[in-house]
Amino acid sequence: MLEYTKEGLLALIKKLVSIRSISHTAGENEAAAFIYESLAGEEYFQSHPAFLRLLPVEEGGLERHAVLALVRAGKETGRTVLLNGHFDVVDTAVCGDLAEEAFDTDTYTRLVAERDIPEEAREDLASGNWLFGRGVMDMKAGIALHMAYLAHMARRREELGVNLLFLAVPDEEGSSAGMRGSLSGLCAFLQEQGLELEAALSGEPAFWTSKSTEGSRSCRTLFTGTTGKIMPLFFCVGREAHVGYAFDGVNAANLAARVVSLMDCCADLMDGSGDDTLPPPVCLKLKDLRDSYSVTLPERAAAYFNVLSVSRSPLDILQICREVAQKALEQTLSGIREAGREFQRRSGRSDSPVPAWESRVLTFSGLMEELAREEGMESVQQRIRAFARSLPSDMDEPEKGLAVADHLVSLANLKGPAIVVGFLPPYYPQRLNTRSTAGERRLRSIMEGVCADLERSVGQMRLVECFSGIMDLSYMGFQGSREELQSLADNMPGWGSVYDLPMKELLSFNVPIASAGPAGKDAHKDTERLELSYSLEVAPRVLERVIRELGAQER
């Protein structure tokens, strides 16, 4: 039986951490099985087996599953609160010779003192109030809290004003295959059981932020929204020429480098304002697309970027990227022409041409349409799907998308100088509390009250509009039009074969979100640690209060 006590929570956290559920390994299946079996041992789920399910999230591969569990309120209602979290963790390479011990919290907490760790981590260790280990705060403690609370309330259903729906997923640390793959099954379950989501609460920890990042003081942060993430791709096509006759062609690497100079860390492309100002775009990869030495100008190169958003849709970002691409083309060709004229002046030769190429900026949807005019869209899509299936299974999704983009350019026989703009996976919509619905206003008010009371009782708390990282609750609804979301699908090479999203579900959801989890520091680092007093004593009270107030509120 799962125990909803300080001791029971701590024991469950340690057991969950001991399961090596590193993303994209069989350990994720082990974690799912443990969570499922732990809940299946509860009397409530033995009496209601249909309320506990393993949801498949992928076909083939590891055949991973999410765990879905429902506890109905004592009084019949459709109003439901989702408790969500992930049970995968990042690897332990950063832990060096303690990589294996990182899954044993007691051992790792003892041995980490022997490592060269930051002074703040050493002070926390000496306090005795912190538990170290991989996944202990990101986010096995949150999963443990939700599991124990769910079992606890299953024995006290008369106290619930809303139903509780628990969804634990794999692969949040990868490309959120777990959450994306669960949405269809989640929606089907909601419809089958006559449930309506009032809110979704994450078990992600309240990350401690430093003075340097907050600008004022060190504190724990709760949130009522999450940041969006999109990955624009610039596929650059040049003109081949021998390097000895450089002015006869256009170097695609030059084009791509110009794009990077315009996009990377560009302040004008930052989104948000005030405390929710996000970092600017950052180039994640810049490469030419040939695999051997040659004295020919590179004909193809690509760059893709991490872009965070709180206000811009995929359609907005696509337009920005088209403008950047046009500017990059113009600057590159202008530079080549200027260099060509200088070469003529210095050499006294007039036989060296100064290029006057006609350039193009187009989107991947535009490139597809050009191909479709010749052979039909269905034929083009079939060829793309066949090519995507031929790609190595261990190739990651962005690289698969880039390979499909390269294949598309070949099919179209596109000649440069040109830049094709689009997107690569993964994509996370921003999920904001806009106060535009009664549900959003209700949840925001509850969280403001919780945070204010915590400030008085435990201190060092802050409620922010957006969780600054990437998280699964981004998929609790797309806050935009169908056209804006469709622009993502239309311009992502390999959509439907390399990567996709349940579009219907995304457009149908509009669920307010907030955090109600433990607290910790240094996720993904060798000093990842959980704040015990807050996580085992305060966090349960926060979760109870939010659920109680959501249940007490009228529509």
The overall average pLDDT reported for the chain is: 93
The 10s digit of each residue's pLDDT in 142-195 is 999 999 999 999 999 999 999 999 999 999 998 999 999 999 999 999 999 999
Does the pLDDT at position 335 exceed 80?
yes
Compute the distance between CA of residue 5 and CA of residue 23 in angstroms, rounded to an integer.
Answer: 29
- Give me the sheet containing 130-132, strands edge to edge: 130-132, 529-531, 519-521, 206-209, 219-223, 461-464
CA distances from 20 to 26, 343, 400 (A): 9, 62, 27
Residue 230: phi, psi to the nearest 5? -140, 155
What does the pLDDT read at residue 554?
A: 55
Does the pLDDT at position 430 exceed 60?
yes
* DSSP assigned state of 459: -
Compute the distance between CA of residue 16 and CA of residue 518 in angstroms, rounded to an integer.
Answer: 15
The 10s digit of each residue's pLDDT in 519-540 is 999 999 999 999 999 999 999 9
User: What is the identity of the amino acid at 426?
Assistant: P
When comparing pLDDT for 21 and 60, which is higher?
21
Per-residue pLDDT band at 212 (split at 50, 70, 90): very low
What does the pLDDT read at residue 272?
A: 86
Does the pLDDT at position 203 exceed 70?
yes
When comparing pLDDT for 292 and 83, which is higher?
83
What does the pLDDT read at residue 348?
A: 84
Q: E-strand spans in 100-256?
A: 130-132, 163-169, 196-202, 206-209, 219-223, 228-237
Q: Could you check whether the bond before residue 281 is cis, i.e. omega within 30 degrees of 0?
A: no
Does the pLDDT at position 211 exceed 70?
no
Does the pLDDT at position 215 exceed 70?
no
Does the pLDDT at position 303 exceed 70?
yes
**What pairing do the DSSP bridges indicate for beta strands 219-223 and 206-209?**
antiparallel
pTM of the model: 0.92
**For the chain, percent of residues with pLDDT exceeding 90:** 83
What does the pLDDT read at residue 354?
A: 66
Compute the distance between CA of residue 165 and CA of residue 157 in angstroms, rounded to an integer.
Answer: 13
Per-residue pLDDT band at 255 (split at 50, 70, 90): very high
Selecting from 1.20.1250.20, 3.40.1190.20, 3.40.190.170, 3.40.630.10, what CATH number does the domain 6-226+431-476+511-552 have?
A: 3.40.630.10
Which residues have CB under 8 Å from 477's CB, separation 6+?
429, 431, 506, 507, 508, 509, 510, 511
Per-residue pLDDT band at 214 (split at 50, 70, 90): very low
Average pLDDT over residues 20-33: 97
Torsion from C-alpha of 217, 218, 220, 225, nearest 10 degrees: 60
CB 66 within 8 Å of CB 178: yes
Write down the domain spans for the chain: 6-226+431-476+511-552, 228-428
User: What is the identity of the amino acid at 441?
Assistant: R
The number of angstroms, rounded, from the C-alpha of 506 to the middle of its chain's C-alpha atoms is 15
The 10s digit of each residue's pLDDT in 42-78 is 999 999 999 999 999 998 889 999 999 999 999 999 9
Does the pLDDT at position 352 exceed 70?
no
Selecting from 3.50.50.60, 3.10.129.10, 3.30.70.360, 3.40.1160.10, what CATH number does the domain 228-428 have?
A: 3.30.70.360
